[in-house]
Amino acid sequence: DTGVSQDPRHKITKRGQNVTFRCDPISEHNRLYWYRQTLGQGPEFLTYFQNEAQLEKSRLLSDRFSAERPKGSFSTLEIQRTEQGDSAMYLCASSQRGVGTEAFFGQGTRLTVV
Amino acid sequence: QKEVEQDPGPLSVPEGAIVSLNCTYSNSAFQYFMWYRQYSRKGPELLMYTYSSGNKEDGRFTAQVDKSSKYISLFIRDSQPSDSATYLCAMSPMDSNYQLIWGAGTKLIIKP
């Protein structure tokens, strides 16, 4: 399968713990995006990479969130000191550079903070 | 008031019906308009992509953009039970995925 892959699919953690999610984009895609989606809402942009450079970061993203994309391949999203409000689906998407490009989404990581 | 408004539904129609899904928006700077389909526990999948005003057709799907009314629509002809999903509109002032503003999605149910 050559789609966007996310791991894990589900994560249950206790409040205050740190969690890390991984995203493997489509191999020839140089753009990678992280979104967060809560029930009954559309995705909310978190951050964007072009190759290994993090070019955009939502002002809604607190300091507890950090993302990396070493070597411009896979990406990780870490949430430190999780809070119940962090419970959501975390979506990763990738796209090629250019006009009118389509972003392909992974199946998401569902985080539940208890 | 949200920048993009979308009726959450659910919208339930019989198989074979024509479905009309809509979004309204307030920002006149939006130029790029998209419709995504999202099945339960899956990521969104791009269905239609339109620049500026006009219509675009792809198989059973037609997207319409009316910038004067700040209103976009997605029509599904000959609806099938497999079309049952949540449909999200998204729009942006520029051709950039990170600037997309999303609607909350409309849940569509096609009854066999």
- Give the pLDDT confidence score for residue A99 in this predicted structure: 54
At A29, the amino acid letter reads H
- Give the pLDDT confidence score for residue A53 in this predicted structure: 93
CA distances from B69 to A113, B27, B37, B99 (A): 42, 11, 24, 22
Percent of chain B with pLDDT over 90: 84
Nearest CA in chain A to B88: A42
Q: Which residues of B touch A50 (CB under 8 A)?
A: none
Q: Tell me the pLDDT tens digit for each residue of B27-70.
A: 999 999 999 999 998 999 999 989 888 899 999 999 999 999 99
**Beta-carbon separation of B97 and A103 below 8 A:** yes
pLDDT band per the 50, 70, 90 thresholds, residue A22: very high
Q: Which residues of B touch A91 (CB under 8 A)?
A: 43-44
Closest by Cβ to A106, choosing from B43, B46, B90: B43
**Beta-carbon separation of A56 and B98 below 8 A:** yes
Closest by Cβ to A40, choosing from B8, B46, B99: B8
**Beta-carbon separation of A91 and B43 below 8 A:** yes
Q: Tell me the pLDDT tens digit for each residue of A50-93.
A: 999 999 899 878 899 999 999 889 999 999 999 999 999 999 99
Closest by Cβ to B98, choosing from A4, A45, A106: A45
β-bridge pairing A44-50 and A53-57: antiparallel
